[in-house]
Structure 1
Amino acid sequence: MKGTCEDIERLIRRFVWGTNEGTLSIHLISWDTAKQPIESGGLGFKNPHQQNRAFLMKIGFQLVTYIEALWVRVLKAKYRWGHRLPILIKRPSCSRLWTRLNNFWDEICDSANWNIGNGSQTSFWFDNWLGRNGRLAFNCLVDTMSPYAMVSDMTTASGEWDWPRLNPLLPTAILDQIDVVPPPQNRYNFDTLGWRWCDTRVFSTRSAYAYLLDTEGLPNDVV
Structure 2
Amino acid sequence: MTCFKLPVSLCDRIQSALTRYWWDGNDGSRKMAWVSWTKMTQPKAKGSLNFKDFQSFNDAFLAKLSWRLINNPHCLLSRVLKGKYFADETFLTASHKSVESHGWKGLLVGWDLICSNAGWAVGNGESIHVWTDSWLSNTEQLRPMGPAPENQQDLMVAHLLLPDKSDWDREAIRRVIPHEESKILSLKPSRTGAPDKLIWLGTRSGEYTTKLGYRTALERKDNAEANHAGDKFDWQKGVWKLHTVPKIKLFL
Given the two structures, how large is their TM-score scaled by the length of structure 1?
0.81
Determine which structure has the larger helix proportion and give its number.
2
SS across alignment from 2:184 = helix
Identity %: 26
The corresponding residue for 2:11 is 5
188-197 vs 117-126, greater mean Cα deviation: 188-197
Q: CA deviation at 1:51?
A: 0.5
The corresponding residue for 1:58 is 64
20-29 vs 187-196, greater mean Cα deviation: 20-29
Report the AA paired with residue 91 of structure 1. Answer: K
**Correspondent of 1:14 among 10, 16, 20:** 20
Report the AA paired with residue 74 of structure 2. Answer: E
Q: Answer yes or no: is the 8 Å Cα contact 2:140–2:201 preserved in 1.
A: no
Measure, in 2, the Cα distance between the counterparts of 1:168 and 1:194.
28
Measure, in 2, the Cα distance between the counterparts of 1:195 and 1:82.
25
CA change 1:210–1:73 in 2 (3 A) is same
SS across alignment from 1:51 = helix
The corresponding residue for 1:148 is 154
CA change 1:153–1:184 in 2 (3 A) is farther
Unaligned runs of 5+ in 2: 1-6, 224-252
Unaligned runs of 5+ in 1: 219-223
The corresponding residue for 1:78 is 84
The corresponding residue for 1:190 is 195
Q: Answer yes or no: is the 8 Å Cα contact 2:62–2:109 preserved in 1.
A: no
Report the AA paired with residue 216 of structure 1. Answer: K
The corresponding residue for 1:129 is 135
The corresponding residue for 1:213 is 218
Q: Answer yes or no: is the 8 Å Cα contact 1:54–1:212 preserved in 2.
A: yes
SS across alignment from 1:194 = strand
Q: CA RMSD in A?
A: 2.7
CA change 1:183–1:93 in 2 (3 A) is same
Report the AA paired with residue 168 of structure 2. Answer: W
CA-to-aligned-CA distance 1:5-50 (integer Å, 9 cap, x gap): 1111111111111247654324443322211111111001010111
CA-to-aligned-CA distance 1:118-167 (integer Å, 9 cap, x gap): 11122222222233553625x13765461221111112346432334334
Matched, 1:87 2:85: no
Q: Answer yes or no: is the 8 Å Cα contact 1:141–1:169 preserved in 2.
A: no
Runs of 4+ in 1 over 6 A off after TM superposition: none
The corresponding residue for 1:221 is none
**Correspondent of 1:100 among 103, 106, 117:** 106
CA-to-aligned-CA distance 1:46-100 (integer Å, 9 cap, x gap): 1011111111111222221121221222221222433334423222211112123
Measure, in 1, the Cα distance between the counterparts of 2:205 and 2:158.
23
Q: CA deviation at 1:177?
A: 2.3
Measure, in 2, the Cα distance between the counterparts of 1:141 and 1:72.
34
47-56 vs 60-69, greater mean Cα deviation: 60-69
